Amino acid sequence: MTSNPGKTVFVLNGPNLNLLGTREPQIYGAHTLADVQELCRTACQRHSLQLVFRQSNHEGELVDWVHEAGRLHAQQQLAALIFNAGAYTHTSVALLDAVKGTGVPLVELHISNVHAREAFRHHSYLSAAARAVLCGFGVQGYQLAIDAVAQW
């Protein structure tokens, strides 16, 4: 069951995640981004949630999409923003400001366990504005996040 039937889950993916399944399978697994979208579609259907699923390599476009999610949030139509901001996680004050400025309920998501990797991946600008942070579950994390936000 869900507490949010009919609401929308925004799933945003940042730079290079379009390469999923093509390289570095030891870190990110063998699934493609299309597989992840399908997994999210199935999970949202199970909870009667609408899905918006997007990927961009451009920081400004991601900012615009956070604003779009924010407008849905203002209309009480947003279940949550599930955001794998990729490398922008570790660099982008602009994305942090967008999340803070809109007040969207944020799940920060990473496929890999960023804390077991290089030191520069240990810090996230987004975590300060996140309601929850999920990492290290592989692409299954997307489904876990949707199952969780369906109860928010």
Q: Confirm if 84 and 144 have CB atoms less than 8 A apart.
A: no
**Active-site residue, 28 included:** yes
CB of 73 to ligand CA2, least distance (A): 23
Q: Which of 31, 110, 125, 142 is an active site residue? A: 110
CB of 135 to ligand CA2, least distance (A): 7
Q: Amino acid identity of 108?
A: E
Tokens 């476009």 correspond to 61
Nearer to ligand CA2, 71 or 115 (CB): 115
Cα separation of 77 and 46, whole Å? 18
Nearer to ligand CA2, 24 or 38 (CB): 24
**What torsion do the CA atoms of 56, 74, 41, 133 make, to the nearest 10 degrees?**
70
**What H or E segment, with its residue span, contains residue 94?**
helix 93-102
**Active-site residue, 47 included:** no
CB of 33 to ligand CA2, least distance (A): 9
Residues that bind ligand CA2 (CB under 6 A): 16-17, 19-20, 22-24, 28, 84, 86-87, 89, 110-112, 114, 121
Nearer to ligand CA2, 29 or 152 (CB): 29
Q: Count the neighbouring beta carbons within 10 Å of the beta carbon of residue 29.
A: 17
Nearer to ligand CA2, 86 or 105 (CB): 86
Q: Confirm if 14 and 84 have CB atoms less than 8 A apart.
A: yes
Q: Which of 28, 88, 125, 142 is an active site residue? A: 28
Active site residues: 28, 110
